[in-house]
Chains A and B, each alone.
Chain A
């Protein structure tokens, strides 16, 4: 076929752009930021969400995205501010105006700050959900003087960004389009979960890339992999050390890069020698030959990527495992090269939230009070400030708050302080787009902390168990109701347009408006001059020389120009200017500067299984969407996975109700027996509660029936040293058959 025929044929493929009645939107049902198209019905309601018209993005959609109208138009959406009238958690409210709510919140927050100091104010938020904060939360807190901001990204991607920075000064993104090898550490992107990553892996396979998967169970990705290493949960750091052993011993590493651009190779060599394959095999349960084969496949590939994974975010050797992934990338020369890991840097056409956050306004004395920074400093100001000069030199910004994860308080330390008032009182807590009670380890401690507050404010789109504990609940907006330009907090080198398609309901607001209006009531007007979201967007787009309106009129997506091996001009954004195999920051903070493997708490006769939690199910994102019928009916009840041998020994079959128990709590769920599970392991889904159980009697919609947040303790023996991250991937527990399902569950839950 002649070229002209191909072009003519392609001209008929798909629409050119979103139609006049359609808008480009960024879906925030989950955190992966698919750009889609939204259309509105004759009544002004969101009607349909459709896939992108540009073939570069058209596969990036899942059934959560197409369900957005069911979410955005849901009858239970919060529409007006609520003020608590019953006891805390009693779920009794009066409707008040937005102005009244904000006036009272400002007065009560001022009272807490006056009595206990600004550090007595803490925030937990999930920027992926709220999107339009534009760094105003950090700006407000830094001007007020509170360092106690945390987020779900403390356990997921944000902490990875911070640890990557310790090693080479940035959080790179894999070049799926050009790579020849993809290594997945337990990560299991699927068609309806992290859809773009799934499709990019599929495309990489089609381009000849080999895929290596490390996962205890035969996940969908593992089943399709060229090599699958079924390691014991939580032993990823040991596996990486085994790979390094092979790569160094067989001289498969990039000697030129190591000589010119790394520090600490000799020290690393000695550490790696402590992990011969026989020892790594004993730890991980994987045959030495298979470990060696995988290491060779990775190191010998023309190019290779180790994409971000939540698995190494959440284990007792998290810092070492993440650093070891960085080190593997560096030793094999896959840093900032085609098909490797790209260091995008901040998008030059957009002012980053790292600037808008006004971090310089927080005094050293208040930084020193950041909760968790003394025991677990890796992603707090204490460690990240040590990279400030280097970051300014390389990236042009002193604060590189990539994925919002680099200047956080430690959540366990924060909730402990809220509950116990040690090391000081925390008496005001705001939660935005974040069902805090179910989102971090040690749910009972979080509950105690929330019950010990003088003021709790929730900003949400639905009533959640956490919001039920609040004094004020403010209705939030959703992605179809606001304008936005996303830069994925510096990670992916892209700008994406999201256009307002419909008006938010009644008194719903964006988180930007919430923080601005609170700031203005507390004497910070000059620092919050923007009258609208569009004003902020115009300001942030000023380096491009376009307003938001102009950007939206001209384009909908802009990649950062592709430049490679930028470190040759600037060096790396670390104190040495090189990739720090031996971390000078960790050394100065008194931690082991070299990566290591640490064994998690052991199983026993009493608790014979390795439990892993924090696992997503396709219809839901984190604790959300259980009230959305079209999604809930795809997964009506929580289900644990267990191997047939384990099920048989425990006398369990599919559909049995069980309690998964640890020393700190239990999760009621149904059994799903699966050949694909690894023996001795139990997989527990994340974030279950029952919105339909709303009785106004302090049961918090079943928040303590099936929530995995009760299972993993956050005492020292369960926490990663450097970050204070809990060991969600392989802690000891048991499975006990229930004589009956928990009381109060709906027929849908019982039958599904």
Chain B
């Protein structure tokens, strides 16, 4: 493994750990400043939950 590859891998691991950490903080029912910020970050990254389309509506004609 080259030094460059090792550095790249370390950065990727750091990024992945950070993502999990931020996501975990957003999964709380109890509001704290940290969880609020985390949820906002998750929403910024992933966007608004899409409305379900008619395909999910069992009253629609198939």
Contacts and interface: CB of A to CB of B under 8 A. Distances in A.
A339 interface: yes
A564 B13 contact: yes
Contacts of A562: 13, 16-17, 19-21
A500 to B, nearest CB: 16
A339 B12 contact: yes
A554 interface: yes
Interface string B31-62: 10000000110111011111010011110001
Contacts of B16: 175, 177-178, 338, 562, 564
A553 interface: yes
A14 B52 contact: no
A191 B50 CA distance: 14
Q: Is the interface of B mostly helix, strand, loop or mixed?
A: helix
A553 B44 contact: no
A70 B57 CA distance: 12
A339 B13 CA distance: 9
A58 B49 contact: yes
A51 interface: yes
A293 interface: no
Contacts of B48: 10, 13-14, 55
Given A559-B20, A633-B62, A7 B27 contact: no
Contacts of B13: 337-338, 562, 564
B28 A554 contact: yes
A606 interface: no
Contacts of B23: 56, 559
Given A17-B29, A554-B28, A66 B1 contact: no
Contact of A630 (B19, B49, B58): B58
Interface in A668-703: none
A251 B39 CA distance: 45
Interface in A51-65: 51-56, 58-59, 61-63
Interface residues of B, number: 34
Contacts of B43: 10, 13-14, 55
A751 interface: no
Contacts of A256: 1
Contact of A177 (B17, B19, B42): B19
A16 interface: yes
A13 B62 contact: no
A585 B30 CA distance: 48
Contacts of A74: none
B46 A56 contact: yes
Contacts of A557: 24, 27
B9 A559 contact: no
Looking at chain A's contact residues, is the secondary structure mostly helix, strand, loop, or mixed? Answer: loop
Given A7-B40, A58-B50, A633-B62, A556 B27 contact: yes
Given A56-B26, A555-B29, A559-B20, A61 B44 contact: no
A55 B58 contact: no
A577 B40 CA distance: 43
A6 interface: yes
Contact of B50 (A54, A59, A558): A59
A558 B24 CA distance: 6
Contacts of B50: 58-59
B8 to A, nearest CB: 9
A16 B31 contact: yes
A42 interface: no
Interface string A524-567: 00000000000000000000000000001111111101111000
A56 B49 CA distance: 9
A554 B24 contact: no
B47 A13 contact: yes
Nearest to B20: A562
Contact of B52 (A53, A61, A67): A61
B12 A66 contact: no
Interface string A5-29: 0110011011011100000000000
Which one of B23, B49, B62 has the highest number of Cβ atoms from chain A below 10 Å of its Cβ? B49
A634 interface: yes
Nearest to B57: A66
Contacts of B15: 338
B29 A553 contact: yes
**Most chain A CB atoms below 10 A, which of B15, B16, B20, B62:** B16
A11 B56 contact: no
A419 B6 CA distance: 59
B49 A14 contact: yes
B49 A13 contact: yes
B58 A70 contact: yes
A53 B49 CA distance: 7
B12 to A, nearest CB: 4
A11 B49 CA distance: 12
B49 A51 contact: yes
B61 to A, nearest CB: 10
A634 B62 contact: yes
Interface in A461-517: none
Contacts of B52: 51, 61, 66
A553 B30 contact: yes
B12 A338 contact: yes
Nearest to A178: B16
A6 B44 CA distance: 7
B12 A54 contact: no
B56 A54 contact: no
Contacts of A10: 40, 43-44, 48
A63 B55 contact: yes
Interface centre among A175, A339, A555 (most CB of B within 10 A): A555
Contacts of A556: 27-29
Contacts of A633: 62
A136 to B, nearest CB: 28
A455 to B, nearest CB: 40
Nearest to B46: A55
Contact of B49 (A16, A52, A63): A52
B56 A61 contact: yes
Nearest to A58: B49
Nearest to A63: B56
Given A55-B46, A256-B1, A11 B30 contact: no
The interface centre, meaning the residue of B20, B23, B52, B56 with most chain A CB atoms within 10 A of its CB, is B56
A556 B30 CA distance: 10
Contacts of B39: 16, 54
Interface string A126-156: 0000000000000000000000000000000
Contact of A63 (B12, B26, B29, B58): B58
Interface in A316-369: 337-339
Given A337-B9, A553-B29, A554-B28, 14 more contacts: A11-B40, A14-B43, A54-B42, A55-B43, A63-B58, A192-B55, A339-B12, A555-B29, A556-B28, A557-B27, A558-B27, A559-B20, A563-B17, A630-B58
Interface of B: 1, 9, 12-13, 15-17, 19-21, 23-24, 26-31, 39-40, 42-44, 46-50, 52, 55-58, 62
18 contacts: A6-B44, A7-B44, A10-B44, A17-B29, A53-B49, A54-B42, A56-B46, A70-B58, A256-B1, A338-B13, A555-B27, A555-B30, A556-B29, A558-B27, A559-B20, A561-B17, A561-B21, A564-B16
Top 3 nearest A-B pairs (CB, nearest first) are: A58-B49, A630-B58, A13-B48
